[in-house]
Structure 1
Amino acid sequence: MAGCKEWCKSEFKVKNLLLQHEDPQTFIQFQFGFQKVYLIWRVFWALYHVAWIIVSGVKADLWAGEDSSQYVKWFIFLTDWAYFSLTISTLVDAVVTTYVFVRRTDIREGTEVELPWFMRANWCLFNIGNVISVSTSLAYWGLVYDGSQDMSSVNIATHIINSLYVFLNISVTGMPKRVLHFWFSVIFGMVYALFTVFYHLAGGTNHNGSPYVYSPLDWSKPGTAFLYCAIVCFILVPVVHLILYGIHRLKLLIYEKCDCCRIETRYRRDPSTVEMKPQYPY
């Protein structure tokens, strides 16, 4: 009970609504060390997601048919918004990690105690990309997929592998998570919901000519559409965020309890002394 109280005290602070952290080093390595391998990990996944988002656009005929005039509607689907946000997140992560390795030795060695603006932006994108990707996959399989669509490679990449990547990435990297950071993804969901409203009012149609993007978001039936939006934005998204946070906490528990996992101890140098102090994640 005491441990739970301490956790609530440390986690539910107003400052944790924002992007503050005192150990930038943890953002550029695996939970268990290996900074150089982490750089390879980041670049690999950035290239992977960039390749697949290009493929999803090039292979638009898989969902739009032979009418090339419909291909531009790639931009209206939540799946593509979500995968784009995940791709941008991994790309920015790779750029930030590379920059830190080349130019910011202070962060690599753990002597910097203030999170730079570009790492804050990266952290925000990390939260949005992860939560929206998993939420979109769940919403797709639960609300949209009816068994008639072909299970193409693009469909698998954007509705299954994307979520598996998120779970794996959170399980092994040192990137922190906060309970209160759910609001980034909620805002993203609300922005998309508003987009579908204005798209409908402007007379927009999906690739099949229907006057909506997804049938659950048919704004000619505003009550039903609003209900689906509310469920996804204010229930599904926060629940997914909490699940991912739970995976993060489990990772930290394993790290703290399993000595064999501490392959590489991280240190932060106290600038006023030559003493090296161990720095553990939280």
Structure 2
Amino acid sequence: MKKQAVAQNALFCCTASLGKIEETADQFARSCHGNISPLLWRVPNLIWALCITFISVTSFWGPTEMFLLYMTHWGLMFIIIESIFGIVVAVMERNEKSDATFGLPWYVKVYWVLYNITIPVAFLITVFYWGVLRTSGKIVNYAPNPVIDIMLHGVNSLVMLVELVFSAHPSRLLHVMQPLYFAGVYLLFTIIYFFAGGQDPLGNHYIYPTLDWKLPGQTAIMAVVAAVSLIVVYLLVVALGAIRDALTGNFAMRSETMHVSTEPY
């Protein structure tokens, strides 16, 4: 029985499924800090992301169609989408409680997956930008001005940290493949773009100098380092979520109100 459970969890992990869902929808629509509506931080998060996106697009240093070449901008788009679904969950669950008999509603599941991806990716973008790109020999300005630079590569993590610290639902080790698959999709995109003859706005045949597929060995090593870093960051997110629950008593509250469901994602 134990081996069967391990095998099932391994399958859930490899397929990036949410697995056996024991959470209720209301956990995604409230704060772990008492009677605080998630709208109080998810709406400002969305407004911030929309404003930064508008400024970034209108002041982009290259053709507008190249805006989505960069992981930073993918991460920004995910903050927008994650915030929208977070707002939908908060509003829907406040106005009309869903029936837990059939598991989580689809929009809650989508929000949870977006949450699992967006937070660690935002943290990784910040770490890699300041720790790798800004210290490499080929320094490129990836933002129109220093203020937007900090917004895209620093405040992005603070915004997602607020989401993590104030939310009431958990981050599970089982879901680690969700952000990894997202990163894998971006990596595949860079490979296809390279072999299609794509260039960055400055005419270079790469998107990032650290992902130059003319140097496949070096780039493959960087990809592995990025993947390992993302796993470490995700583990940090899980740990921060556990500390949050311990400090707020959210874990005990979740255990008492939990309705068990065996519905996989």
Mapping for residues 180-219 of structure 1, pairs under 5 Å: 180-219=174-213
Report if the CA contact (8 A) 1:46-1:94 is conserved: no
What displacement does 1:38 show? Answer: 2.1
Deviations 1:162-198 (A, max 9, x none): 1112222211211211012110111111111111111
Structure 2 Cα separation of the partners of residues 219 and 177 of structure 1: 34
Residue correspondence of structure 1 range 121-200 to structure 2 within 5 A: 121-146=110-135, 149=141, 152-200=146-194
Q: In structure 2, which of residues 229, 232, 237 is the aligned counterpart of residue 236 of structure 1? A: 229
8 Å Cα contact 1:27-1:176 kept in structure 2: no
Deviation of 1:43 (Å): 2.0
Contact 2:56–2:148 (CA<8 Å) still a contact in 1? yes
SS at match of 2:205: coil
Where does residue 35 of structure 2 map in the other structure? 34
Q: Structure 1 pair 96/223, CA: closer, same or farther in 2 (3 Å)? A: same
Structure 1 or 2, whichever has the larger Rg, is 1
Q: Which residue of 2 aligns with 1:82?
A: 75
TM-score by length of 2: 0.82
Q: Which amino acid aligns with 2:245?
A: L
Secondary structure class of the residue paired with 2:248: helix
**Contact between 2:42 and 2:163, CA under 8 Å: does it hold in 1?**
no
Give 1:255 shift. Answer: 1.8
Do structure 1's residue 245 and structure 2's residue 234 form an aligned pair? no
Q: 1:278 to 1:187 in 2, by over 3 A?
A: closer
**CA distance in structure 2 between the aligned counterparts of 1:25 and 1:113, rounded to whole angstroms:** 14
Q: Deviation per CA, 1:99-131: give whole Å up to 9, x if none.
A: 2223x2347xxx667211211111001111111
Q: Is the 8 A contact 1:127 1:185 kept in 2?
A: yes
Q: 4+ residue stretches of structure 1 with deviation over 3 A?
A: 12-17, 146-151
- For 2:59 and 2:233, the matched residues in 1 are separated by 29
**In 1, Cα distance between the equivalents of 2:232 and 2:112?**
19
Aligned CA-pair RMSD:
2.8
The 5 Å alignment of 1:40-79 reads 40-61=40-61, 64=62, 70-79=63-72
Native 8 Å contact 2:75 2:118 kept in 1:
yes
Residue type matched to 1:245 in 2? V
In the alignment, the residues of structure 2 paired with residue 159 and residue 232 of structure 1 have an alpha-carbon distance, to the nearest angstrom, of 16
**TM-score, normalised via structure 1 length:** 0.77
CA–CA separation in structure 2 for the residues paired with 1:223 and 1:14: 30
Deviation at 1:44, TM superposition (A): 2.3
Q: Deviations over 1:21-70 (max 9, x none)?
A: 332211101012215x3223222222221221122111213xx4xxxxx3
Contact 1:26 1:175 (8 Å CA) reproduced: yes
Q: Distance in 1 between matches of 2:24 and 2:60?
A: 43
Superposed displacement of residue 266, structure 1: 6.5
Deviation at 1:72, TM superposition (A): 2.2
Q: Distance in 2 between matches of 1:202 and 1:167?
A: 37
* Gaps in structure 1 of 5+ consecutive residues: 1-8, 65-69, 268-276
Contiguous gaps of at least 5 residues in structure 2: 260-265
Identity within the alignment, %? 22
- Contact 2:38–2:87 (CA under 8 A) maintained in structure 1: no
| Partner residue in 2 for 1:279 | 257
- The partner residue of 1:220 within 214, 222, 228 is 214
